[in-house]
């Protein structure tokens, strides 16, 4: 742990003289710096404590399976309520009003799918990640290659959103260069995961969830207090000052402008949750299926409550921020554009609103909470990526199950550092993307590649290795190609004049295509291996529904 202390000290030293790196329009915020340092010190201690308990691969990937349902529900909420949930959705409500909640509704809708189709069976069938489940009765090598490929792409897209959110936040508050801000987040994430594994990641996520729920509740309370707890007055003021007027209260503009894209987005958000590797991985941290179900119930409650608060925060931002020109880039005549002129962009609506209703102290607290949010999510993503590389690819594909635990842990930590560097680079390249939108694309890929394979492998007797592999890769390839050819990458990143595909979300095509391909190629598979896989379905069903033979929690 000397390395951890050395890096922590270096980070603290880098943070203290932050104003020296100032670039307009950011300025250092003393309460934010203090609270950031408190959070960093506290989480470094957790990492030190967790590192002493992380002795096996089970400890590293699943915290030994000893987390309770309530704790795991909080940790899932901490993992799921990302920068997109807080910064992105509040910013989308600020821009488009009621329509901005389409992402929140979609994010929340996925949890019943997880509850009734996935959670219990996942815990009963797997040990470390969802690839253990898909390869339970199917051929291990092709399924793990597919799972690792899809997971790493989903993680990359998700990481972009978190790193962009973190970078913009720190630039706004500390006035440092964006690139340096992203490097700081990446370094902290490498520390948490590399040394503390799932135990440290879990407790960082729990602390972050508690702080975030408290901070959002306090913000919503102060916003409503500004209008004497009259939501109608807040909404009326928002309509009065917004450039589009009453249109912000008329849902449907995102749907009517391109119905296929809206439907595509809705499908991806509904089913993407059940394909997110870092969320599915959390169900292996509890001791049994009963605690897995409790996890979903608690997580759904916390997440649903939080999204109600983002509605208030978004509309509160519309109504209150225009009263504070200091949050905008003001022209020489004193005018400003409330949408395009917001300092730091619309992803910073919640941060500016905290300053408006609570001053620098609440701003500092919210900044620390948002920073904790991003680091916790990035840590969870990185851990899932390390599992895909070390457990799926190295241990079970290249080493064919003969790798020692010590070697797996070493590969996991090397993977963590590598993913951290990649996350930093992606955060810099995609600096100007809306974070909620980028997460929407990650959901689309997860719903296209992981979800169909996972569901059909545990729920349909006829699913075979050939069908699952071909169908999964088709979903992955189509979703990826569509994203690359869309305005998100083809125009915004590559600089082309127009996208090749008509809308950015691929789910309406890639998800049904994956299901149909799995069905078709499984049905046509008459090999002896396919016969054995269909016959093994009965044993899978018994274990998935009863838990007989499932891995148990480790003792500590």
pLDDT attached to residue 29: 64
pLDDT attached to residue 16: 34
Percent of the chain with pLDDT over 70: 89
Instruction: Give yes or no for residue 550 having a pLDDT over 70.
Output: no
Instruction: Give yes or no for residue 24 having a pLDDT over 70.
Output: no
User: What b/e string do you get for 173-201 counting C-beta neighbours within 10 Å, with b at 16 or more?
Assistant: bbbbbbeebbbbbbbbbbbbbbbbbbbbb
Instruction: Give yes or no for residue 2 having a pLDDT over 70.
Output: no
Helix, strand, coil % over all residues of the chain, rounded to 5: 80, 0, 20
In a domain, 268, yes or no: yes
Average pLDDT over residues 349-363: 87
C-alpha span between 237 and 222 (Å, rounded): 16
In a domain, 15, yes or no: no
Q: Mind listing the pLDDT tens digit for each residue in 473-522?
A: 999 999 989 988 888 778 876 788 889 998 888 999 999 999 999 999 99
Instruction: Give yes or no for residue 114 having a pLDDT over 60.
Output: yes
- Residue 361, classified by CB atoms within 10 Å of its CB into exposed (0-12), middle (13-18) or buried (19+), is middle
Query: Of the given ranges (1-15, 215-229, 235-249, 453-467), which has the lowest mean pLDDT?
Result: 1-15
In a domain, 51, yes or no: no
Q: What CATH number did the domain enclosing 156 receive?
A: 1.20.1730.10
pLDDT attached to residue 25: 39
- pLDDT band at residue 49 using 50, 70 and 90 as cut-offs: confident
Q: Mind listing the pLDDT tens digit for each residue in 50-104?
A: 777 777 777 777 777 778 999 999 988 888 887 667 777 888 899 888 888 877 7
pLDDT attached to residue 191: 79
pLDDT attached to residue 62: 76
When the pLDDT of each residue in the chain is averaged and rounded to a whole number, the result is 82
C-alpha span between 441 and 446 (Å, rounded): 9
- Residue 404, classified by CB atoms within 10 Å of its CB into exposed (0-12), middle (13-18) or buried (19+), is exposed
Q: Mind listing the pLDDT tens digit for each residue in 516-534?
A: 999 999 999 999 999 999 9
Q: Mind listing the pLDDT tens digit for each residue in 268-286?
A: 888 888 888 888 888 888 8
Percent of the chain with pLDDT over 90: 23
Instruction: Give yes or no for residue 470 having a pLDDT over 50.
Output: yes
Q: Which of 77-86, 218-227, 391-400, 426-435 has the highest mean pLDDT?
A: 218-227
C-alpha span between 268 and 103 (Å, rounded): 11
pLDDT attached to residue 437: 64
- C-alpha atoms less than 13 angstroms from C-alpha of 286 in its C-beta half-sphere: 28
Q: Mind listing the pLDDT tens digit for each residue in 421-450?
A: 888 888 888 776 656 567 777 888 899 999
Instruction: Give yes or no for residue 553 having a pLDDT over 60.
Output: no
What is the residue-wise DSSP string for 111-174? HHHIIIIIHHHHHHH-SSSHHHHHTSSS-HHHHHHHHHHHHHHHHHHHHHHHHHHHHHHHHHHH
In a domain, 53, yes or no: no
Four-CA torsion 429, 430, 431, 436, nearest 10 degrees: -160
Rounded alpha-carbon distances, angstroms, from residue 222 to 92, 312, 315, 368 = 21, 10, 13, 19
Q: Mind listing the pLDDT tens digit for each residue in 153-208?
A: 888 887 887 788 777 777 766 777 888 888 887 887 787 777 777 888 888 888 88
Instruction: Give yes or no for residue 334 having a pLDDT over 70.
Output: yes
Rounded to an integer, what is the distance from CA 106 to the centroid of its chain? 14
In a domain, 348, yes or no: yes
Instruction: Give yes or no for residue 28 having a pLDDT over 60.
Output: no
Four-CA torsion 48, 50, 54, 57, nearest 10 degrees: -120
pLDDT attached to residue 27: 53
Average pLDDT over residues 9-13: 35
Look at the alpha carbons of 75, 77, 81, 86 in this order and tell me if their dihedral is positive or negative: negative
Query: Of the given ranges (64-68, 135-139, 307-311, 325-329), which has the lowest mean pLDDT?
Result: 64-68
In a domain, 555, yes or no: no
- Residue 40, classified by CB atoms within 10 Å of its CB into exposed (0-12), middle (13-18) or buried (19+), is buried
pLDDT attached to residue 14: 33
pLDDT attached to residue 466: 95
In a domain, 554, yes or no: no
CB 39 within 8 A of CB 264: no
Helix (H, G, I), strand (E, B) or coil at 500: coil
Helix (H, G, I), strand (E, B) or coil at 328: strand
CB 151 within 8 A of CB 143: no
pLDDT, greater one: 458 or 434: 458
Query: Of the given ranges (114-118, 221-225, 227-231, 410-414), which has the lowest mean pLDDT?
Result: 114-118
Instruction: Give yes or no for residue 410 having a pLDDT over 50.
Output: yes
- Structural domain total, the chain: 1
pLDDT, greater one: 242 or 167: 242
Q: What residue numbers bound the domain in which 299 lies?
A: 70-546
pLDDT attached to residue 22: 31
In a domain, 41, yes or no: no
Instruction: Give yes or no for residue 23 having a pLDDT over 50.
Output: no
Q: How far apart are the two ends of the chain, measured CA to CA in Å?
A: 20
pLDDT attached to residue 3: 39
């Amino acid at each position: 742990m000397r390395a951890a202390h050395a890096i922590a000290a270096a980070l603290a030293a880098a943070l203290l003289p932050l104003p020296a790196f100032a670039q307009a329009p950011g300025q250092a915020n003393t309460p934010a710096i203090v609270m950031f340092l408190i959070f960093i010190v506290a989480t470094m201690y957790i990492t030190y404590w967790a590192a002493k308990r992380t002795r096996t691969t089970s400890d590293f990937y699943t915290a030994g399976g000893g987390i309770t349902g309530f704790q795991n529900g909080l940790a899932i909420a901490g993992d799921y309520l990302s920068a997109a949930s807080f910064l992105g959705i509040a910013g989308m409500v600020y821009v488009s009003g009621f329509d901005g909640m389409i992402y929140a509704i979609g994010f929340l809708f996925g949890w019943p799918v997880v509850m009734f189709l996935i959670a219990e069976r996942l815990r009963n069938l797997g040990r470390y990640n969802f690839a253990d489940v898909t390869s339970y009765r199917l051929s291990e090598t092709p399924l793990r290659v597919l799972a690792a490929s899809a997971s790493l792409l989903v993680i990359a897209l998700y990481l972009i959103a978190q790193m962009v959110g973190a970078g913009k936040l720190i630039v706004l508050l500390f006035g440092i260069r964006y690139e340096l801000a992203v490097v700081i987040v990446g370094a902290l994430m490498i520390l948490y995961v590399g040394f503390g594994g799932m135990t440290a990641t879990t407790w960082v996520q729990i602390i972050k969830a508690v702080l975030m729920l408290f901070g959002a509740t306090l913000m919503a309370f102060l916003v409503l207090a500004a209008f004497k707890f009259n939501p109608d007055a807040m909404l009326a003021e928002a309509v009065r000052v917004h450039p589009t007027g009453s249109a912000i209260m008329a849902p449907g503009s995102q749907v009517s402008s391109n119905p296929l894209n809206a439907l595509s987005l809705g499908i991806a958000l509904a089913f993407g949750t059940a394909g997110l590797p870092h969320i599915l991985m959390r169900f292996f941290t509890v001791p049994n299926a009963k605690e897995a179900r409790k996890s979903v119930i608690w997580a759904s409650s916390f997440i649903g409550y939080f999204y109600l608060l983002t509605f208030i925060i978004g509309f509160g931002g519309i109504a209150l921020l225009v009263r504070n020109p200091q949050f905008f880039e003001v022209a020489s005549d004193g005018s400003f554009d409330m949408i395009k002129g917001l300092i730091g962009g619309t992803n910073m609506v919640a941060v500016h609103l905290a300053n408006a209703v609570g001053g620098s102290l609440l701003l500092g607290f919210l900044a620390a909470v948002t920073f904790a949010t991003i680091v916790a999510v990035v840590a969870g993503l990185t851990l899932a990526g390390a599992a895909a590389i070390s457990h799926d690819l190295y241990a079970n594909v290249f080493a064919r199950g003969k790798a020692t635990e010590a070697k797996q842990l070493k590969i996991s930590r090397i993977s963590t550092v590598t993913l951290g560097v990649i996350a930093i680079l992606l955060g810099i390249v995609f600096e100007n993307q809306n974070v909620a939108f980028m997460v929407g694309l990650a959901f689309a890929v997860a719903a296209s590649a992981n979800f169909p394979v996972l569901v059909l492998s545990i729920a349909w007797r006829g699913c075979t290795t050939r069908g699952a592999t071909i169908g999964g890769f088709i979903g992955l390839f189509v979703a990826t190609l569509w994203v690359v050819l869309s305005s998100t990458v083809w125009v915004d990143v590559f600089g082309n004049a127009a996208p090749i595909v008509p809308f950015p979300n691929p789910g309406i095509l890639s998800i049904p295509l994956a299901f149909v391909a799995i069905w078709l190629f499984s049905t046509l598979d008459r090999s002896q291996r396919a016969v054995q896989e269909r016959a093994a379905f009965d044993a899978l069903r018994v274990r998935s529904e009863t838990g007989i033979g499932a891995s148990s929690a480790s003792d500590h």
